């Protein structure tokens, strides 16, 4: 009735409400980029206060992996010296070790669950998310690069094996998740949390009791005894009833390593090699038994954003661990995104696509595809940048720049800086917002700053550097006061102020020396700080086709090996200034160490 009598009053009231909401959603823009050293020091102090030194991690139960925290600690460690820098690395490494030993890691089928319900990383919420696998594979790779701890390399391999086996579509994309609950056995009417993953003591004895034992075993000791000891498998189950309010895990065991491989081997008088082989065989038997159980539901939706994170993970692991198959898998995934999650005509990403119900891996799209959001663009761009570093195929960095430009067109806030989460012109969105927190996934603005800095150098675009600066200004207040809420952006701020180095390696791609120089560059600790690595054949004949990078940066053509007997050289560049060429990995390492 009132609407009919006075519609203008209600329209005006609605407009006032919308204006107030829009004002409340504004992030108070700062007038300068915050100090990286002050922000970094404060973020480290806040993480140190929340760190649990005995069990690792940065919160009380429930405990999430929080890769963004560890990303920051590793990068802050690289840029600093002294006891605090050492502590930053120790905090990260200890957390990674404790997670890998805990029940949050699936010791049988591999991969990480979403979080632990207890402070000991023991009893997880058994759902497995693609974005966790991607981020954790990346942070374990970075930790391996800095420490050369073989356990970290093994976990990277385990995560990527899980994703390849259980979350991969035949056409190249990656599925989103596996559910936490499943039917305990065929014919069950109710699903239970963790049913696919847990074990009774009796099951283990039955499975492993008949396995042959090494001759050095003590009389009466069986393989099941060793496995039960190592993974704390108990006759009455090892799950605290407090962590099992619905009695779904009563009498069950969630595998956890309380000690170490060395301690278990010593207890049973075995060499470490013999124990590891025994454990490998036992876990293979358990994996085969688990495959006979009803599987959890597979969420076969394929998201551009999470596929971008996974492209990064495979590309970085392939680069650091020198595993060509990982790089090939990243290439296959990037080709999948281009074919199924990208509209060639408009140059825009789609949010998602799906596997057809026939179970044959055919990929389908809904009648009206969902347009990509900011995180789709930011995460895919980063994946493509990491993929270019890994395989040095210029088409990937070219596409990264095209997507960055499209991201700027759709999401950039020209008045305040930073990126909105949704594109302009979306009538389904009342108020365009900006994500201002790094959580289980990093915020797209945080990732965008790093992307912009790397692209600014690689394709010589100063406007990208300007956008990174304006984004950091937008979040000045939060970075200055509570950087713990934006650790990934704090990492990007470190990268911004440090100004990433660039290593240009010239000479034919077939050059052994060129490959050695490339290996030195991509495995140096400065690669954690956004370092750009380019292999460029400045002697390539014009008839072989134009180089995208040469078209953007003609100065690359002038960079040639100048030393007799050397078919390759490396230039270290920073702030548009390049060193004299060097001709050995040792000289390049010395140059990088001096930065």
Report the pLDDT averaged over residues 542-561.
Answer: 82
pLDDT at 212 over 90: no
Question: Residue 403: pLDDT band by 50, 70, 90 thresholds?
Answer: very high
pLDDT tens, residue by residue, 219-229: 678 899 999 99
pLDDT at 428 over 70: no
Rounded (10°) CA dihedral 458, 412, 468, 307: -60
Report the pLDDT averaged over residues 127-133.
Answer: 99
From CA 322, how far away is CA 341, in angstroms rounded? 29
Quote the mean pLDDT of the chain. 92
Report the pLDDT averaged over residues 473-477.
Answer: 96
Give the residue with greater pLDDT, 355 vs 519. 519
From CA 216, how far away is CA 497, in angstroms rounded? 59
Q: Which of 6-20, 294-308, 341-355 has the lowest mean pLDDT?
A: 6-20
Q: Which of 156-160, 202-206, 211-215 has the lowest mean pLDDT?
A: 211-215
Report the pLDDT averaged over residues 421-448.
Answer: 88
DSSP per residue, 528-553: GGT-EEEEE-TT--GGG---HHHHH-
Place of tokens 């548009």: 576
Report the pLDDT averaged over residues 469-486.
Answer: 96
Question: Residue 165: pLDDT band by 50, 70, 90 thresholds?
Answer: very high
Report the pLDDT averaged over residues 68-83.
Answer: 97
From CA 379, how far away is CA 307, in angstroms rounded? 8
- Residue 339's alpha-carbon distances to 310, 371, 396, in angstroms, are 17, 15, 14
pLDDT at 57 over 60: yes
Instruction: Judge residue 392's burial from the number of C-beta atoms within 10 Å of its C-beta, 0-12 exposed, 13-18 middle, 19 or more buried.
Output: middle
Share of the chain above pLDDT 70, in %: 91
* DSSP element (H, E) containing 178: strand 177-178
pLDDT tens, residue by residue, 392-401: 999 999 999 9
Q: Which of 350-359, 460-469, 492-501, 586-595 has the lowest mean pLDDT?
A: 350-359
State the CATH class of domain 502-593: alpha beta
**Predicted pLDDT at 545:** 59
pLDDT tens, residue by residue, 1-37: 565 666 665 556 555 554 544 444 445 566 799 999 9
Q: Which of 149-158, 360-369, 426-435, 449-458 has the lowest mean pLDDT?
A: 426-435
**Predicted pLDDT at 221:** 83
Closest CA relative to residue 353, chosen from 362, 341, 345, 361: 341
Domain ranges of the chain: 36-180+298-498, 181-290, 502-593
**Predicted pLDDT at 243:** 87
From CA 237, how far away is CA 157, in angstroms rounded? 30
Closest CA relative to residue 313, chosen from 170, 144, 77, 103: 144
pLDDT at 244 over 90: no
DSSP per residue, 352-418: EEEE-TTSS--EE--SSPPBP-HHHHHHHHHHHHHHHHHH--HHHHHHHHHHHHHHHHHHB-TTT-S
**Predicted pLDDT at 541:** 62
**Predicted pLDDT at 20:** 47
Q: Specify the pairing of strand 302-303 against strand 352-355.
A: antiparallel
Question: Residue 538: pLDDT band by 50, 70, 90 thresholds?
Answer: confident
Question: Residue 65: pLDDT band by 50, 70, 90 thresholds?
Answer: very high
Share of the chain above pLDDT 90, in %: 79
* DSSP element (H, E) containing 227: helix 223-230
Place of tokens 């009893």: 123
Report the pLDDT averaged over residues 541-556.
Answer: 79
**Predicted pLDDT at 24:** 44
**Predicted pLDDT at 35:** 95
**Predicted pLDDT at 18:** 47
356-374 burial string, b = 16+ CB within 10 Å, else e? eeeeeeebeeeeebebbbb
Query: Taking the chain, what is the end-to-end CA distance rounded to the nearest angstrom?
Result: 73
DSSP per residue, 425-456: T-TT-SS--------SS--HHHHHHHHHHHHH
**Predicted pLDDT at 431:** 81
Q: Which of 111-115, 427-431, 548-552 has the lowest mean pLDDT?
A: 427-431
pTM of the model: 0.94
Report the pLDDT averaged over residues 478-491.
Answer: 97
**Predicted pLDDT at 23:** 47
Angle at 540 (CA atoms; ends 534, 541), nearest 5 degrees: 155
**Predicted pLDDT at 561:** 86
Cα-to-chain-centroid distance, residue 495: 17
From CA 374, how far away is CA 379, in angstroms rounded? 9
CATH of 36-180+298-498, one of 3.40.50.300, 1.10.3720.10, 1.50.10.10, 1.20.140.160: 1.50.10.10
- Residue 309's alpha-carbon distances to 3, 176, 220, 295, 443, in angstroms, are 50, 12, 49, 25, 12
pLDDT tens, residue by residue, 81-90: 999 999 999 9
**Predicted pLDDT at 21:** 46
pLDDT tens, residue by residue, 357-371: 655 668 988 888 999
Report the pLDDT averaged over residues 115-138.
Answer: 98
């Amino acid at each position: 009735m009132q609407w009919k009598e006075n519609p203008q009053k209600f329209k005006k009231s609605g407009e006032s409400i919308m204006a107030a909401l829009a004002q409340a959603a504004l992030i108070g823009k700062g007038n300068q980029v915050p100090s990286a050293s002050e922000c970094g020091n404060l973020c480290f102090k806040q993480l140190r206060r929340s760190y649990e030194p005995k069990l690792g991690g940065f919160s009380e139960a429930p405990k999430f992996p929080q890769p963004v925290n560890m990303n920051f600690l590793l990068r802050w460690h690289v840029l600093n010296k002294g006891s605090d820098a050492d502590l930053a690395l120790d905090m990260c490494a200890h957390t990674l070790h404790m997670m890998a030993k805990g029940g949050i890691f699936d010791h049988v089928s591999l991969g990480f669950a979403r979080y632990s319900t207890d402070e000991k990383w023991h009893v997880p919420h058994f759902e497995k998310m693609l974005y966790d696998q991607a981020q954790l594979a990346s942070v374990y790779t970075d930790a391996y690069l800095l420490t050369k701890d073989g356990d970290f390399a093994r976990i990277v391999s385990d995560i990527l094996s899980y994703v390849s086996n259980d979350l991969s579509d035949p056409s190249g994309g990656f599925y989103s998740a596996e559910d936490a609950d499943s039917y305990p056995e065929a014919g069950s009417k109710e699903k239970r949390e963790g049913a696919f993953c847990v074990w009774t003591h009796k099951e283990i004895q039955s499975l492993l009791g008949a396995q042959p034992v090494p001759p050095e075993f003590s009389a009466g000791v069986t393989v099941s005894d060793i496995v039960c000891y190592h993974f704390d498998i108990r006759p009455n189950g090892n799950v605290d009833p407090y962590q099992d309010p619905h009695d779904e895990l009563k009498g069950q065991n969630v595998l956890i390593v309380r000690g170490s491989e060395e301690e278990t081997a010593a207890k049973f008088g075995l060499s470490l090699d013999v124990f590891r082989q025994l454990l490998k065989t036992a876990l293979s038997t358990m994996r085969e038994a688990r495959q006979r159980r009803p599987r959890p539901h597979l969420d076969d939706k394929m998201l551009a954003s999470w596929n971008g994170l996974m492209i990064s993970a495979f590309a970085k692991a392939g680069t650091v661990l020198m595993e060509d198959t990982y790089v090939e898998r990243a290439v296959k995934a990037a080709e999948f995104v281009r074919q199924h999650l990208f509209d060639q005509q408009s140059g825009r990403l789609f949010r998602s696509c799906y596997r057809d119900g026939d179970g044959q891996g055919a990929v389908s799209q809904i009648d009206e595809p969902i347009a990509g959001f900011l995180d789709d663009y930011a995460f895919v761009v980063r994946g493509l940048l990491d993929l270019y570093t890994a395989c040095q195929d210029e088409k990937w960095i070219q596409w990264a720049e095209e997507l960055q430009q499209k991201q700027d067109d759709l999401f950039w806030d020209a008045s305040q800086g930073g990126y909105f989460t949704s594109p302009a012109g979306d009538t389904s969105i009342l108020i365009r917002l900006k994500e201002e927190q790094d959580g289980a996934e990093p915020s797209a603005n945080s990732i965008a700053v790093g992307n912009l800095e790397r692209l600014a150098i690689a394709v010589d675009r100063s406007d990208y550097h300007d956008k990174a600066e304006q984004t950091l200004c937008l979040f000045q207040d939060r970075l200055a006061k509570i950087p713990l809420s934006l650790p990934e952006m704090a990492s990007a701020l470190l990268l911004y102020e440090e100004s990433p180095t660039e290593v240009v390696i010239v000479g034919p791609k077939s050059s052994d020396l060129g490959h050695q120089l490339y290996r030195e560059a991509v495995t140096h600790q400065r690669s954690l700080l956004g370092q750009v690595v380019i292999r460029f054949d400045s002697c390539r004949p014009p008839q072989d086709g134009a180089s995208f990078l040469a078209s953007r940066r003609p100065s690359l053509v002038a960079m040639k090996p100048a030393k007799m007997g050397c078919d390759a050289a490396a230039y270290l560049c920073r702030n548009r200034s390049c060193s004299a060429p060097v001709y050995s990995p040792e000289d390049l390492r010395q140059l990088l160490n001096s930065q």
